[in-house]
Structure 1
Amino acid sequence: MTTELNTSAKPGELSSLSYSFSLSDWNSVGLLLRDFYMFSQRETLIHSVNKLEEHCGAHITFPASFADADWQDAEYDFNRLFVGPQALLAPPYASVYIEKEPQLMGNSTQEIRELLHALGLSSRNENQIPDDHVSYEIELCLLLINHIPRQHVYEEALAWLVGDHMSRWLPKFIVRIEHGAQTPLLFAISKVLSLWFDDLRRRIS
């Protein structure tokens, strides 16, 4: 992987980062990001972070070491941003950023569900977790880009998903993370997500 890195960015600013992942690395990082943003227990968080550092640690600053207390702080920060129980600082749902009035299960959520169903797919925990959760959309990108050689419909679906949908909300989501994160780890992972998505947009442009 090659990179140009602007290290002058501060929390709350989107830095000028540029990666060119191999397709294999791009897939691997995407799967790890999917798991990270949908993690349900600390072991998954730790595994995802360690693997993401293997892929991107030479170019993005991760915390040097982690004790149990550091993982507790990261887990608390994760919950503040994405889970609750307090008002979320960076809700991981597209509809919050796309709808005129921030809400869950808005029209944009229904658009993703209709796209999934048109492709013969459905999200895990349908009707429990909104279909436009960032982890589901990352996974859909991975599926579509790896099926493009087989059917033109996948290429059309990916172009809409990235160009007309995710580009409208994912950069805002990343900014919300960078403004709200209290731990270097959550800030670092937001940079990985930004690099991964920018590389995706270059791939389909």
Structure 2
Amino acid sequence: MDDMKLWFMEKEAVYSTLALFYRGSLSRGLKILRGTDLLEKLFKWENNLTVCRKAAIILGEINGNHLNPKYKEELLEDYQRLFIGPGHILAPMWESVYESKDRLIFGKSQLSVRKFYGEFGLGVSPKEPADHLAFELFFMARLCDVKMDDDLQNIVKALSAMEKFLKDHLCKWVPSWRDCVNSSAKTRFWIEFSNMTEGWIMDNLEEIKEIRRLVL
């Protein structure tokens, strides 16, 4: 049970940190990466070479730019250009954009995501698309916040929800979004960070499948 508790805590930490960056909280995100061993742990993530390699690159870049006063500004400018605009958004962070040729927000997927959130007592303002990448990653972090009171039912419920959300949502569209980032980003950070994000969610899905097989 202690191993399972640690597993959920580690996953929650990664999902929460990823979500911070995609929400645009770069100062807070960089502070976490510089002040914790999160990247070092991912660098040793033997289950997935993509996660290992990209974490190592990001760690090296962050450490190499520690005294660069313009580094955060460069990342923010690229964030704005890639994900916000103005004008044409190069790598939109809404799932709905990737489910049809029209590339519109507020599509079917955001309704499905909103319903999923509601089943766990969470909500997003009707004025905001619920299928933004930051929201989806924060939701995964929330699912990791499991009450570890020796109740196997809680663990199974959390794992089932995580597997379904990854299969039905994140793992479906993040690869296409990642391709957009890779082809349009000016900074190496966002290329490698998006690659690491994709590698993480794909690996997490396979991990959950294996754990559920062993637990059940």
Q: What TM-score, normalized by structure 1, do the two folds share?
A: 0.76
| Change in 2 beyond 3 A, CA 1:132/1:48 | farther
Residue 71 of structure 2 aligns to a residue in which SS?
Answer: helix
Aligned equivalent of 2:186: 182
Aligned equivalent of 1:198: 202
- After superposition, residues 74-93 of structure 1 pair within 5 angstroms as 74-93=75-94
More helix by share: 2
| Change in 2 beyond 3 A, CA 1:73/1:82 | same
Shift of 1:151: 6.8
CA offset digits 1:18-47 (Å, max 9, x no partner): xxx95443321211101111024x522432
Q: CA RMSD in A?
A: 2.5
User: Paired residue for 2:13, among 21, 28, 34?
Assistant: 28
How many Å separate the matches in 1 of 2:192 and 2:141? 22
Identity of aligned residues (%): 23
- After superposition, residues 32-181 of structure 1 pair within 5 angstroms as 32-40=17-25, 42-50=26-34, 51=36, 53-56=39-42, 59=53, 60-62=56-58, 63=61, 64-66=64-66, 67-123=68-124, 126-147=125-146, 149-150=153-154, 153-181=157-185
**Residue identity matched to 2:142:** L
Ranges in structure 2 where 5+ consecutive residues have no aligned partner: 1-5, 45-52, 147-151, 210-216
Larger Rg: 2
**Residue identity matched to 1:122:** G
- After superposition, residues 13-24 of structure 1 pair within 5 angstroms as 23-24=8-9
Q: What TM-score, normalized by structure 2, do the two folds share?
A: 0.73
| Change in 2 beyond 3 A, CA 1:112/1:27 | same
Shift of 1:198: 2.0
